[in-house]
Chains A and B, each alone.
Chain A
């Protein structure tokens, strides 16, 4: 009996060892040639758009090439992937990441200095001249789609939506418990709401915030004003000051009828309305005095990517007139290229939207803004 057991252990250990070795070898193997591994920070509606509109067109135009679209699983997981690419750069190995979608180039710290990301200003993309200069945030991020944050509300309960931020604040206070926004680090819609509020308390001057000008001393007086405003509306929010855990949970609260208004991404809101998961009376509105902070999602290509050249080719493809048209028609987004480069009938149809610029907010500010929000607005510590 003892012997048998020992044999069994020995056998299973051999199997285990074999499997482990195979696993280790597997993880050091090179990415398959012609397969582009693309990781998405955007929600699934964007991945579906890629699968339906971009993948077939690019693969048809480039025989032998496959796009492997992977949902990255949120900011922290995407951060881990950037770290992996950075580590691969330092060890000169293949990161098995060819493109990353909707993340900024500023993390991990030191990545830009070390040359982790492809500089699109020097790659000579054929379509780069079409890009709207206003949407270029930095030379490593290639913007390819814009979305805006909107008020998403139940028209049956809100007959006339607020037109200005001031009116929105007044509405929130007049309807306690009927409004919710997402925690800024978990849902960008929530981030855009507090960033718009920051614009409001600082006199709606976009020039105050740039990628380079953050310092604690410069920001502190502005943040102080922001905390006052956000703490002021907190008791009138859902559950007297509770915040949802992301873009989708915000829409879920609206769908269940627990609240009458929330802040959402235009593309996600449109998808939810098309799928009928929110009440029929759901509608969208944008502030007229200054639009909510929106943003352009960009792609990054690591310089160590195994399929770097193909990834750059795909980047160029993304900002072609054809794909940019699909961004508008299929995704409900905004083009990253100039409207003059877009098909004439599309440009005419969206003429009134085209005039609306989407204010953006610099990434390097967000880390401080979000942590300050947790400590000063979300925490009940100061309220006793």
Chain B
């Protein structure tokens, strides 16, 4: 017993001195795979956007494609549209899922299981089916409009082919993941802390802002950063449900690559998207690192 206590106070590297080489061997294969299949092609592609063929046939450094992107009103409008869609979808994801997660944490009824299953249901339905189903449901003269008109609500404007179309589609798509992370974060909140707060007369709002939110800060950060990565690069929902123009970066890159047949400009667009997404990635890595640091301290 005394041994264990002592062991936990020394730094981890000293605790398992012989484990190190094993550990490295353990990660060697995945790291090699990531480097050879991900980092190397990605770096090659990024390098290819600045080391380009000159008119005279030689290769040299040029940032012409970036200059084009940032001086092209059309490309910038697409980037702005992507940011708008991503931020709006993320805010709505939190707004929808946080109450459900709180409910699932504190409810003990059978209904809670049902709600959880229902909220995770989108995970099991392929995106293409959802898209066509959504078109039929919320599209013009669709079921939603018919139902609204049946109860006397007229003037429904379908979100299909408007910027709200992909927001709704991606909301559905990203909901299970968001909820899973938030419920996991919620379950870490000790019931005793909440009961103690209730005992001293804290209001439910006070408990939410002073106890629950600070405790799930990390989960919120993880969900926000990972959703940002997923939503920002979405291609399928935007081009099926969204407006023709401005496009989101996903369909724009795809179109530039395959239809316009301009791989260089597509790679430039991808590099810009990558740079923006790495900010979200950085936030995620920092949150993970902070949690690990906390765990080591504990």
Contact = CB atoms under 8 A, between A and B. Distances in A.
A367 B259 contact: yes
B141 A370 contact: no
B240 A256 contact: no
Interface in A70-92: 75-76, 79
Interface of B: 26, 29, 33, 73-74, 77, 132, 135-136, 139-142, 161-162, 239-241, 243-247, 254-261
Nearest to A73: B128
A253 B257 CA distance: 29
A249 interface: yes
B260 A252 contact: no
Contacts of B258: 75-76, 79, 107, 185
Given A252-B136, A256-B139, A256-B141, A242 B243 contact: yes
Contacts of B246: 379
Contact of A107 (B77, B245, B261): B261
Interface residues of A, number: 34
Given A183-B244, A374-B255, A257 B261 contact: no
A67 to B, nearest CB: 25
A370 B244 contact: no
A81 to B, nearest CB: 12
Interface of A: 13, 17, 20, 75-76, 79, 107, 109, 183, 185-186, 239, 242-246, 248-249, 252-253, 256-258, 366-367, 370-371, 374-375, 378-381
A185 B259 contact: yes
A186 B245 CA distance: 14
Contacts of B239: 183, 186, 245
A379 B260 contact: no
Contact of A258 (B33, B132, B141, B260): B141
Contact of B77 (A13, A244, A379): A379
A173 to B, nearest CB: 20
B244 A243 contact: yes
Given A183-B244, A258-B139, A381-B74, A239 B259 contact: no
Contacts of B29: 17, 20
A379 B261 contact: no
Given A245-B240, A375-B74, A76 B161 contact: no
Contacts of B135: 249, 252
A370 B247 CA distance: 14
Nearest 9 pairs between A and B by C-beta? A258-B140, A185-B259, A378-B245, A378-B244, A379-B245, A256-B141, A76-B258, A243-B244, A371-B260
Contacts of B255: 185, 370-371, 374
A243 B161 CA distance: 8
A109 B126 CA distance: 33
B261 A370 contact: no
A380 B247 CA distance: 12
A242 B257 CA distance: 23
A13 B26 contact: yes
A183 B228 CA distance: 27
